[in-house]
Amino acid sequence: MDAGTWELVRAALGPLLAGLVYGTIPLTAISFTAGLALALAVALMRLSGIAPLAAIARFYVSVIRGTPLLLQLFIIYYGLPSLGVTIDPFPSACIALTLNVGGYASEVVRAAILAVPKGQTEAALTVGMGYATTMRRIVLPQASRVAVPPLSNTLIALVKDTSLASTIQVTELLRKAQELAAPTFEFFALYGVAALYYWIVCLVLSFSQARVETRLNRYVAR
């Protein structure tokens, strides 16, 4: 790479960082938070023992897992307008990613809830708790220990999946790199910087995952 390329890379660092901070990270944060809430609701529906609720939940998970994320994104952004529903690029991406996270994470949450022994729910009953309190105080805290490792993988996958939003004009990191590279043909250098940024974010997340796991494991015999 010659001096001109380095100059270009240096000039791109700021704009790419902006793409990360104003595009990729909010997309990830919003979709993951909303996705987890959705996942919990879907998991509880499946575990409710109420047949229609469980069926709806199963159907939703099946559709999300059985179709490409890129297609889900296109259906919301390009498809819905033909039904008279037009949504801006950023919210469209948030919705698609949330639905996607909700589908995958619900299976994780469900398995984690099922991993909490039945005796725990019964002990909660005997001290007087109802369903919601038992979930909040007893089951979910214990389930989170089981769920955190796979959910961290979901989160890290999500960081990278937000790049798909570049296809519907959301200016996140990848889209920024494309915009900067196109007029200069310096694809290797600029995509390389973008890759580095994604990688750093994922490294930070892996590091935090380890810390959270240590914290959640403090009440378990080793």
> One symbol per residue from 31 to 70: x for binding another protein (CB under 8 A), - otherwise; what is it?
----------------------------------------
Q: Least CB distance from residue 32 to another protein, whole Å?
A: 23
- Decide: is 219 part of the binding site for another protein (CB under 8 A): yes
Name the residue nearer to another protein (CB basis): 39 or 138: 138
Give CA–CA dist 4/8, Å, rounded: 6
- Decide: is 169 part of the binding site for another protein (CB under 8 A): no
Give CA–CA dist 189/205, Å, rounded: 25
Q: Least CB distance from residue 35 to another protein, whole Å?
A: 24
Q: Of 37, 129, 202, 212, which lies in the binding site for another protein, with binding defined by CB under 8 A?
A: 129
Give CA–CA dist 177/193, Å, rounded: 8
Among the listed residues 112, 109, 88, 97, the one whose alpha carbon sits nearest the alpha carbon of residue 35: 97
How many binding residues for another protein (CB under 8 A)?
A: 22
Give CA–CA dist 16/13, Å, rounded: 5
Name the residue nearer to another protein (CB basis): 185 or 219: 219
CB 190 within 8 A of CB 181: yes
Q: Least CB distance from residue 90 to another protein, whole Å?
A: 38
Name the residue nearer to another protein (CB basis): 33 or 120: 120
- Decide: is 138 part of the binding site for another protein (CB under 8 A): yes
Name the residue nearer to another protein (CB basis): 140 or 202: 140
> One symbol per residue from 102 to 121: x for binding another protein (CB under 8 A), - otherwise; what is it?
---------------x-xx-
Among the listed residues 96, 38, 100, 93, the one whose alpha carbon sits nearest the alpha carbon of residue 64: 100
Among the listed residues 21, 29, 9, the one whose alpha carbon sits nearest the alpha carbon of residue 171: 21
- Decide: is 208 part of the binding site for another protein (CB under 8 A): no
* CA within 13 Å, CB half, 123: 8
* Long-range interactions of 212-219: CB distance < 8 A, separation 24+: 212/148, 212/152, 213/148, 213/149, 216/144, 216/145, 216/148, 217/145
Q: Which residues are near another protein by CB under 8 A?
A: 117, 119-120, 122-130, 133, 137-138, 141-142, 145, 218-221
